[in-house]
Amino acid sequence: MRWSESCIPTLKENPREAEIPSHMLMLRAGLIKKLTSGVYTFLPTGFRVLKKIERIIREEMDAAGCQELLMPILHPEEIYAESGRLKSFGPELFKLKDSRGRIFALGPTHEEVITIIARDEMRSYRDLPQTYYQILTKFRDEIRPRYGVMRAREFIMKDAYSFHADDDCLDRMYRRIEKAYRKIIERCGLEYVIVEAESGYIGGNESHEFMVLAENGEDMLLSCPCGYAVNLDKAAARVSDGRRGEALDPYEEISTPGASTIEQVSEFLGMSEKGIVKTLLYKAGERNVAVLVPGDREVNDIKLVRVFDDPDIRFLEPLEIETVTGGPVGFSGPVGLPEDVEIVADTLIRDFEGMVAGANRADTHLRGIVAGRDFEIGRFEDLVFAREGDLCPNCGKGLASSRGIEVGHIFKLGTKYSSSMNATFLDDKGKSHPFIMGCYGFGVSRMVAAAIEQNFDKDGIVWPMSIAPFQVLLLPLNTGDETVMKAALRLEEELAGAGLEVLMDDRDLSPGVKFKDADLVGVPLRITIGRKIKDGVVELFHRKTGRVDDVAVDAAAGKILEIAGIKG
């Protein structure tokens, strides 16, 4: 391929809209072009990378025994009403009307469509198990499209769905897909961790995310050298502080004028925030609930929604707090709350011998209160965010925090969709059961950005060989020089003939510009054909290590094939 005949619109300047390196580099290296917010074209060079990733994914999904199909993008809205997801998708669902006024959605994912296929086509346990996958454009009206193709409104996903008669069979497929995903990411040359994940609105029980590690990843992780890793949204806080707080018999009232935040109370009493109990009042469904957490911890809203089974759970308004507790905001506590207020405590509260908490009266706190004696805790739940230094549940060491980009997500859905959409099969006794399902997503277009986010330097992209748009860049410096061009053409023929993807920068531009573009686009191997060609010598440059070697032009192709792992 000749650069002069290609569309590789490189940019010298950093585009202002780009917030993270991969976004900036994809625009600057001419891999993508924005049409509008969250909507991008993959230009030819970017598309080459995308196709390589797709190919690796196809090979591994096929090897795992999955069947490829192609489902429609246009979905009648009713199917989301049937599954009950109209509400949970909310504004993320792109909708449009046909000429008869019927409403359609652009597919954000395909659980509904595939469940309808299973419902109609698989009747008996003999038809099971089945696993399908597709690679298709998805549409989601993301609240905050950003980072280019990393979080787009139109993006390419590989999604797979499996149907089983029992949980063991689902578990076997789940493990197979997990293995396939590991191989996909490893073949793309990226470092990753697998984390236990929160299942989010797709529902179900077991769920894992595949995180490509990168400083600018959107996801916060906690991980341990023992191999344990977890998404911060899901991690349970475990500490080794032992018993804390002091019990007093009886508890005492202390005047804390103006001290309505944990910080102020801690300062006022000269004690650490973790010895104080924060009492938060919420409306969950029709009930008022009081949530107790250590003063130095934050409540994780995702856990809250799950524990109270209410996606609309909210804080009580200041006036409501006064009505319910009798005291103003900032002075709530568990002692003396009305009977109908359920008190739910984070599991860390178990460690408290005695507590300091609000008195439900202005400018007053209570010290030395004891659960079970002065008030009753209805139940203990995991409610707060874990953080760096909390203990690994596997080995007890302190967890470290890092960041990752979610490229894959696998779920055991169980019967969530098959039950709501009445998709059943008959067992060997003729009894009807809903299918047991799994679903497995992989962000194909996001993977391109994730690969760059893990592989770049100050000069540009540093592609892993397996997904590089080209493996070799030929750089004749003076395109007017006949010896230079003759050597370049010969190398092109030798390398392309051996099956390598070769890009030749045949543009009549200054060496400075050509080197800058070469580094930016990040082709792994480069042969510079310059003045030394009169002695039969070219320069071989390795983009990742920066190593430069003089090699005889006659030996250059052989050397490249050796490095690229191809036998000449």
CB nearer to ligand ATP: pick between 151 and 367: 151
CB nearer to ligand ATP: pick between 200 and 318: 200
In whole angstroms, the minimum distance from the beta carbon of 142 to ligand ATP comes to 5
Other CB atoms within 10 Å distance of the CB of residue 165 = 20
Which are the contacts of 428, defined by CB distance < 8 A and separation ≥ 6? 125
Q: How would DSSP label each residue in 401-426?
A: EEEEEEEEEEEEEETHHHHHTT-EEE
For residue 322, report the phi and psi dihedrals to the nearest 5 degrees.
Answer: -60, -45
CB nearer to ligand ATP: pick between 356 and 407: 407
In whole angstroms, the minimum distance from the beta carbon of 214 to ligand ATP comes to 13
Which are the contacts of 368, defined by CB distance < 8 A and separation ≥ 6? 246, 247, 248, 249, 250, 251, 252, 354, 355, 356
CB nearer to ligand ATP: pick between 283 and 409: 409
CB nearer to ligand ATP: pick between 152 and 540: 152
What order do you get walking across the sheet with 502-504 strand by strand?
502-504, 472-476, 525-529, 537-542, 548-552
In whole angstroms, the minimum distance from the beta carbon of 144 to ligand ATP comes to 10
In whole angstroms, the minimum distance from the beta carbon of 145 to ligand ATP comes to 7
CB nearer to ligand ATP: pick between 52 and 278: 52
From the list 308, 306, 281, 310, the residue with the least C-alpha distance to 293 is 281
Q: How far is CA 333 from the centre of its chain?
A: 38
| Residue of closest CB approach to ligand ATP | 443
In whole angstroms, the minimum distance from the beta carbon of 468 to ligand ATP comes to 21
Asked whether the beta carbons of 206 and 383 are under 8 A apart, the reply is no
From the list 192, 223, 226, the residue with the least C-alpha distance to 209 is 192
The token pair at 5 is: 């005949």
CB nearer to ligand ATP: pick between 407 and 556: 407
Long-range contacts of 337-340 (CB under 8 A, 24+ apart): 337/290, 337/375, 340/287, 340/288
In whole angstroms, the minimum distance from the beta carbon of 58 to ligand ATP comes to 17
CB nearer to ligand ATP: pick between 274 and 303: 303
In whole angstroms, the minimum distance from the beta carbon of 32 to ligand ATP comes to 12
In whole angstroms, the minimum distance from the beta carbon of 67 to ligand ATP comes to 19
In whole angstroms, the minimum distance from the beta carbon of 135 to ligand ATP comes to 12
Residue with tokens 């998404």: 231
Asked whether the beta carbons of 440 and 411 are under 8 A apart, the reply is yes
Query: How do the residues of the chain divide into helix, strand and coil, expressed in percent and rounded to 5?
Result: 30, 30, 40
CB nearer to ligand ATP: pick between 235 and 407: 407
Cα–Cα distance for residue pair 383/401, rounded to 1 Å: 19
CB nearer to ligand ATP: pick between 170 and 348: 170
**Which residues contribute to the site for ligand ATP (CB under 6 A)?**
109, 140, 142, 151-152, 155, 157, 200, 406-409, 441, 443, 445-446
In whole angstroms, the minimum distance from the beta carbon of 184 to ligand ATP comes to 12
Look at residue 129 and give its three-state secondary structure: coil
